[in-house]
A and B are shown apart, each in its own frame.
Chain A
Amino acid sequence: MMQREALINTALTATLIATPLAVWALDEPFILTLCTKVAIFALAGVGLNIALGLGGLVSFGHAAFFGIGGYAMGILASHAQTYAPLIEWPIVIEGTKSMPIIWLAATLASALAALLIGILSLRTSGVYFIMITLAFGQMLYYFAISWSAYGGEDGLSIYVRNGFPGLNTLDPAQYLIICYSLLALALYATARLSRSPFGLALTAARQNAERVETVGLRPYSLRLTAFVISGAITGLAGALYADLNRFVSPTMLSWHTSGEIMVFVILGGVARLFGPVAGAALFILLEHLLGGISDYWQMYLGALLLLVVLFARGGLIGTLAGREVAHD
């Protein structure tokens, strides 16, 4: 069974490398944007999968980190646009249009948010945890709506996509490659993480917290660390998504976004390394195909999701590879 998943992963890796190349050759801006979206959503899902798949933490508030990443981009870029410093006291912080700095800020800001939310939420478990992460996500959503300095309900748009040294990010193909590279990096890091002592301890804490405690590890700290890493990666995806659209709005923080990120992970297969990639690709494909048939495509998406949850519990990869990783 394991070989089958390895085979599927190899095929997906090949697709991951081949897609940018093929798309580059095609030079169809619309398909380029769709593929970039897949990469970004997959990255957000990879982030959630660390908490959900490895840690067994059903976070229904990951839109918070996605949105914080987006707002980190929006705020830094809008200040750079108007040449107004972000903070003047005690030190002057200027806005920036440089992607690496924005990514760093987005990752740090969402990691910090994940730390604060995690410290409180991880005191609880099970259904309480689901509802509390959901509520914290909504708290930030309403905050963003009433925060008129950065656009409030209307959101914040920037005129030109931010720059990356040595690349022309305005070219959709080059931006696509940036996103795919970051996704590949995150997948590699997740694969290493899940086999590291930390990853093994985290998996053990998901399966039997008491035993982990008896051998002298603290499940709370393990989960908190996983939650922070998870939030940081989703935050990075948020910054990329905002840059793709050159726009950030409270919608990125809404609980529908949390639900969708979760759907990417589930459609693909929970706790599978490539689950979010397969799920995000399937989601975008469905959005595109069903959206072409009917304005009410989300109804069909709902029906499909219902069928997957009720009858195909391992998601796409689980169905193809057979179930050997039970999520709990």
Chain B
Amino acid sequence: MTDLRAAVAAGVLGADEAYRALLRSTVEVARAIFHAKAASVFLLDEEADELVFEAIAGEGAERLIGTRFPSSTGVAGWVLVTRQPLVVDDLTKDPRFAREAAESTGYMPRGLMAVPLLAEDNALGVLEVLDRPQGSPFSLAEMDLLGLFANQAGIALDLLLRARRAQSALEGAGELAALARFAARLEDAPAETRAAGLDLLRALERLLA
């Protein structure tokens, strides 16, 4: 019977924790792959049309997590809207950008590599990799590698975002909350009631077919 509940809940339990853990892991792995000083993720809040600073590994200020800015401004916004990865090697020459980057990450990078997080036809956000110890420039092969990694991160994020949406639909006043409660009751019910409940479910399915 746990199968039924699992099927209805389809991986939504703990989606929030998994989501946070995935974002943390994404920035940590990105930072490690490129031996960078920091890596960060901005996700799109489509309703507000804003980018939200969600996670950082390495140098930077955790307290800035949650900071928002319009979805098409700055380099992160450009990467999101155009779906084009971008590498800038000497940001310090652009005072406006340096300030913007510092304000959004708490850290003033010299160079950065930014790539969109995509899932099918949606852009979910932007992954940025900031600076390397020797300040050596990024190569095209590294951009390709970042693209591949961002693709994997995009797929995982998309799955978790779907799970979060499913969870809110199944919880409390969500549209499908009755379905989740039904599954929970079936699971706890004695064998006979459970069998009758499943019969009823099949009858309902035939009715709706």
> Does B bind A?
no
B residues with CB within 8 A of A? none
A residues with CB within 8 A of B? none
